[in-house]
Amino acid sequence: TSAGGFQKKLSMRVMRLKEKYPTAKVELWCEDEHRLGLKPIIRKVWSPIGERPLVLVHQRYEWTYLYAFVRPKTGEVHWLILPTVNARVFSLALEHFARQVGAGTTRRILLVLDQAGWHTGGEVELPEGVHLEFLPSASPELQPSERLWPLSNEGVANRHFEEIEDLEEALVERCVALSDQRELIRSYTCYHWWPQAA
């Protein structure tokens, strides 16, 4: 599916929600998850000529997950750090997000996300005011949230963490800083074809 085809589909879904809930504000958001852990993220760095930069690493395979809910039109973003991905935890993330943004009878959220098994399973519990719209299969290029990961990784790249909690603390610090940079978030996530009607 092309970006243009998906844009039309999203615009139609937004229009239908506005018709169904005429007194509610309808907003278009997207969501994705990113796995990070004690296996370090290595990035290129500047160093003086003739000197090799050193980065302390200790390969371990312990993970945490960064959930990002973003509204590309405004650059508003809500982050959650959770220990895993599954339908139950995703339902908790949705509930937390819905409370944060005030989703309900007067504010409807159309949330764009991929077709991961923990998003599509029948056991996912949708909070009042949140509606899901799935991306076409194998189309990560259509997911604006994907563009957030280089920004969030900046806070933990080329760093050694003894414990997963230390990594999570660094992620919290980075995400808090990014939450205040709406224009930067918008510049990364608001694709030229993203519907501006919601």
Distances (CA, A) of 27 to 17, 19, 30, 117: 10, 14, 10, 25
Among the listed residues 57, 66, 29, 38, the one whose alpha carbon sits nearest the alpha carbon of residue 151? 66
- The CA distance from 17 to 198, in Å, is 10
Q: What pLDDT tens digit does each residue of the chain (198 aa) get? A: 588 899 999 999 999 999 999 999 999 999 999 999 877 666 676 778 888 776 666 666 789 999 999 999 999 999 999 999 999 999 999 999 999 999 999 999 999 999 999 999 889 999 999 999 999 988 989 999 999 999 999 989 888 888 999 999 999 999 999 999 999 999 999 999 999 877
pTM (whole model) above 0.85: yes
Q: Establish how many alpha carbons lie within 13 A of residue 46's alpha carbon, considering only the half-sphere containing its beta carbon.
A: 0
- The CA distance from 21 to 57, in Å, is 53
